Amino acid sequence: MAAKAPTPEKQLASFIAKFTPEMAKRIRVTRAKMRRRIPQAAEMVYDNYNFFVIAYGPNDKASDAIFSIAAQAKGLSLFFLQGAKLPDPKRILRGAGSVVRHIRLEDDDTFDRPEVEALIALALQRAKTPPSTPSTAPAPARR
């Protein structure tokens, strides 16, 4: 009999456990904040060479994702996957490409800043397909 595959939640926990305890805690805290902010969003998990990524969107299609949290040993960022189109009067978005922008999450409080919340709300409002149905479990990890 084949071994039972780990649940998506256990896969996610195993990826997070690869980080230092401090960074793992920051990833879990930021993920919890995203889940509270958009509980209806689907979560997609990617573990690749440079980054560990948790993406959020209306379904499990990466092309429909609106946000992602990207972690590496040096830090954590919140990516706005259509961020180049967002007005940014406080100039907090980083990046120079034609599509994506990000905010470096220097600490757990950065996510809660009013200007970050305003950008999240605007990105959700402008999303081609906004999340609309509840989703609680992350999609299986992709490599």
Domain spans of the chain?
A: 8-126
What does the pLDDT read at residue 5?
76
Q: Of 103, 58, 44, which Cα lies nearest the Cα of 79? A: 103
Give how far the C-alpha of residue 93 lies from the chain's centroid of Cα atoms, to the nearest Å: 15
User: pTM score, two decimals?
Assistant: 0.87
Q: How confident is the model at residue 2 (pLDDT cuts 50, 70, 90)?
A: low
Average pLDDT over residues 104-127: 95
Residues 20 and 73: their CA atoms lie apart, in Å, by 8
Residues above pLDDT 70, as percent of the chain: 90
Residues 26 and 20: their CA atoms lie apart, in Å, by 10
- Residue 121 near residue 67 (C-beta atoms within 8 A): no
